[in-house]
A = this chain, B = another copy of it.
Amino acid sequence: MIVVDWGSSSLRAFRLNAAGRIVDQRRAACGVLAGTDQFADVLQQQIAEWSDPLIVLAGMIGSRQGWVEVPYVECPTTLADIAAAMTPIDAPTFPDRSLWIVPGVLYRAATPNGVDVMRGEETQLCGLLQRVDTTRHVACLPGTHSKWVIIEHGRIESLFTAMTGELFELLRRHSLLARLMAADNDALDVPAFVQGIDRARQPGGLLNHLFSVRTSGLTGALQPAQLASYLSGLLIGHELLDSQWAEQARGFRVHLIGSPALLEPYSLAMRHLAIAVEVHDETLAAMGAHALARHRGLLDDSFHNTP
């Protein structure tokens, strides 16, 4: 089968063997917000060489801006619920194949304007659910919009987004702070990053702490090449400390799921804050999609007749 994690800015495709192991993969920058709505053509280009009859799609491809809008499944929810809500696509471009979209998950907190959502991460979490027991688990999936998820009894209980990655990019590229930073130095400067985390622990909110990027540059406390790392530490520190999930996660090991580029700073920040962490890579998405397809009965010989 083929699994496609198709987000806002990029697409990752995995080819799995019958046992669910990844045998090939590719990545392309043609995300859902890249400008085209010719999703079938884009997909065809990416997986032309793979003839597998089942294709499972997850991520923003199931959003209002995507191929077909698939309603969210609401928390608390299980792998079985998500599998049952998978939606087939009628795609003439793929006459002999069966295409399915995995629904996103919605969490409705009791507070006003307290709804939260994810699309794509639920598939990675379905992979995680294959690995963990039925006690409480906390997962962190860092990114443009980081997701924090509480799992218990094999259910996704609640989820919280932090716009850490997007805010970093806005401030790194477009703000008055950006003027002080070295232009293209995005290597992690560990001492500056740790200073940023420590700043996040001090009194004063994020809106105030952000200005210390400017004053640390102004006073020479940090060099221009260090300021982006300091900003990153500040934002990730606030993500880890400021939040209701931090309360709920206390005493738990956090399952950290993401790309190597994000695992490095998040692992470092968690260790610095004495948060126990277990690292998983992004291939959990493939494992999760395989488990969903199995639950939905799509891995039988006759699956491509079932939609």
Contact = CB atoms under 8 A, between A and B. Distances in A.
Interface residues of A, number: 52
A207 B235 contact: yes
Interface stretch (A77-85, A213-221, A258-266, A292-300): A213-221
A230 B112 CA distance: 12
Nearest to A204: B244
A182 to B, nearest CB: 17
B112 A199 contact: yes
A267 interface: no
A116 interface: yes
A146 to B, nearest CB: 8
Interface in A111-162: 111-117, 144-146, 160-162
A96 interface: no
A143 to B, nearest CB: 12
A251 interface: no
A175 interface: yes
Contacts of A111: 199, 202
A108 to B, nearest CB: 9
A10 interface: no
A93 to B, nearest CB: 28
A266 to B, nearest CB: 14
A239 B205 contact: yes
A170 interface: yes
Nearest to A205: B242
A212 B242 contact: no
Contacts of A235: 207
A162 B113 contact: no
A162 B195 contact: no
Interface of A: 8, 64, 111-117, 144-146, 160-164, 166-167, 170-171, 174-176, 195, 198-199, 202-208, 210-212, 215-216, 218-219, 221-222, 230, 235, 238-239, 241-244, 247
Given A112-B199, A116-B211, 6 more contacts: A111-B199, A116-B212, A117-B215, A162-B205, A205-B206, A206-B207
